[in-house]
Amino acid sequence: MTKKANFLKGFLKENPIFVFLLGMCPALAVTSTFETSLGMGLLVVFVLTMSNIVIASVKQWIPNDVRTPAYIVIIATFVTVVKMLTEAYAVDLFNALGVFLPLIVVNCLILGRAEAFASKNNVVDSAIDGLGMGLGFTFALVVIGIFREFLATGGIMFGVYLPVTENPITLFSLDMIINLFDSGFHITEYGLKVFSLPPGAFIALGIILAILQFKKSQKDKKAAVAKMEMIAEKKKIALEKKKLAAQSLAKAGVK
Amino acid sequence: MWDKLKIALVLVVIGALSGIIIYGVNYWTEEEIDKNRIATEQGLYRDLFNIDETEITESSIPVLLDANGLDEELIMYDGEGTVLGYIYKATLKNNYGEVTVLVGITTDGVLSNAVISRTTNTINFVQRIKSKYIGNFSNQDVTDIQIDSKTGATYTYTAVVDVVTSASEYYLESRGE
């Protein structure tokens, strides 16, 4: 596998959430808004990449019997580091993620990549795998976050939790469009509030997975039809060749 | 025997290295974390009494309460030691998670402010309550609090109303003389 393919596989082909359904706990719990999803995703990228690098570097010295506990200690170290850094430099994000930040340590994706990839490959490939898978995980969280926040509130906000702007910014709101025609309208009053609640997370994930599966089945169907057409075409060509050969033989027989 | 010792040694080394890294990061971030905690708390106390950042204030150690659903009471002093008012804190649970509300009441029985100090409720709803409705409690007499009944009756707002009502009742019972 090339380094590019190794990096890109986590985005769609082997996406941890949309394909393998790994790391469902944060995918359901912290995706009520776009920004918490992005924050959690970036923290996972750091933990996954760093733990993959360290595990790939020290794998030859770790006895097989204690492989898993050793990996968990390494992952827990990076999660603790991330927790302290977030509390120090992004306190709003820290408060918003709450218990789900320390719970990164039991994220199946991180231990899964350690076992399946980092323990069998070199440091560079493991780092690329960690980064690609982490960004794929972030991409999936952000998609769910945008979907849920938009349906629940009619808009997307930024700068509430991440220490990037002084005041929160509304990235997009349906109010912007509606207020062109009718002032004093607040879309938040008409949002589908269930999407900001835990059941909404399941519904949102179900809808997104259904859309992806539908797309995949359409693609598979198209590929199957194309294959059938190709077979039919080849059959047709073979029949024609057979016919021509028969005609040639008949001609030769007549002569 | 040697294998077991090797396993133990590897685990000890991994544990020790983890400990050193965590100690280092803790040492590096400790001050910032403490500063954040104090700033958050003090900032909210100032907000409750509309005190400017430059003014010197002090707050008492929180006293645990077990009355009216309130968790804590604090006394707020100005730089000269004069009591500015009382702060009541309560954390309520609703369908969206938790809401911690602080209510400030001055010594002359005026509800100076109410703030949401911490919440797991959806941020857009909380922002809306903060920007549009929570300010309506400011400067109301605790004996006659007017509650906005057309706020959409969200869970977040209901939690704020409950804490404001409890704080007013407790103040009138214990501090209102």
- pLDDT tens for A201-231 read 999 999 999 999 999 999 999 999 999 999 9
Is A255's pLDDT higher than 60? no
H-state helical runs in B49-154: 123-128
Domain count, chain B: 1
Q: What is the pLDDT of residue A167?
A: 83
Is A185's pLDDT higher than 90? no
Query: Across the interface, do B14 and A89 touch by the CB < 8 Å criterion?
Result: no
Round to whole Å and give the CA distance between A118 and A19.
20
Positions of E strands within chain B: 57-59, 63-67, 70-78, 83-94, 97-106, 110-119, 140-141
Instruction: Take residue B172 and report the two structure tokens written for it.
Output: 């009138």
Q: Calculate how close chain B gets to A210, using CA atoms only, in Å.
A: 26
Burial of A132 (0-12, 13-18, 19+ CB in 10 A): buried
Q: Calculate how close chain A gets to B50, using CA atoms only, in Å.
A: 20
β-bridge mates for residue A76, sequence order: none
Between CA B112 and CA A151, with CA B122 as vertex, the angle to 5 degrees is 135
In 3D, which of A117, A171, A161 has the Cα closest to residue A9? A117
A255 or B112: which leads in pLDDT: B112
Q: Is B36 on the interface with A (CB under 8 A)?
A: yes
Of B7, B21, B122, nearest to A63 by CB-CB distance is B7
pLDDT, average across residues B110-131: 82
> Which chain B positions have a beta carbon within 8 Å of A61's beta carbon?
10
DSSP B118: E
Cα pseudo-dihedral A190, A196, A198, A202, rounded to 10: 80
Q: What is the pLDDT of residue A226?
A: 95
**Domain membership flag for residue B129:** yes
Query: Across the interface, do B124 and A157 touch by the CB < 8 Å criterion?
Result: yes
For A73-100, the pLDDT digits (tens) are: 999 999 999 999 999 999 989 988 888 9
For A108-133, the pLDDT digits (tens) are: 889 999 999 999 999 999 999 999 99
Q: What is the pLDDT of residue A6?
A: 86
The residue with tokens 């939790």 is A161
Q: What is the ipTM of this complex?
A: 0.77
DSSP B97: E
β-bridge mates for residue B100, sequence order: B91, B118
Q: Which residues of A156-194 are buried (b: 16+ CB within 10 A; e: fewer)?
A: bbbbbbbeeeeeeeeebbbbeebeeeeeeebbbeebebe
In 3D, which of B96, B128, B156 has the Cα closest to residue A199? B96
- At B22, which amino acid appears? I
Of A63, A193, A196, nearest to B10 by CB-CB distance is A63
Tell me which chain A residue has its CA closest to the CA of residue B22.
A81
Q: What is the pLDDT of residue A36?
A: 93
**Domain membership flag for residue B35:** no
Round to whole Å and give the CA distance between B34 and B44.
16
A81 or B174: which leads in pLDDT: A81
Look up the domain containing B59 and give its range.
48-174
Round to whole Å and give the CA distance between B177 and B174.
8
Is B55's pLDDT higher than 80? no
A178 neighbors A185 (Cβ within 8 angstroms): yes
Q: What is the pLDDT of residue B37?
A: 80
Between CA B131 and CA A18, with CA A164 as vertex, the angle to 5 degrees is 95
Q: Which of A56-60, A149-153, A251-255 has the lowest mean pLDDT?
A: A251-255
Model confidence band, residue B156 (pLDDT cutoffs 50, 70, 90): confident
> Which chain B positions have a beta carbon within 8 Å of A186's beta carbon?
128
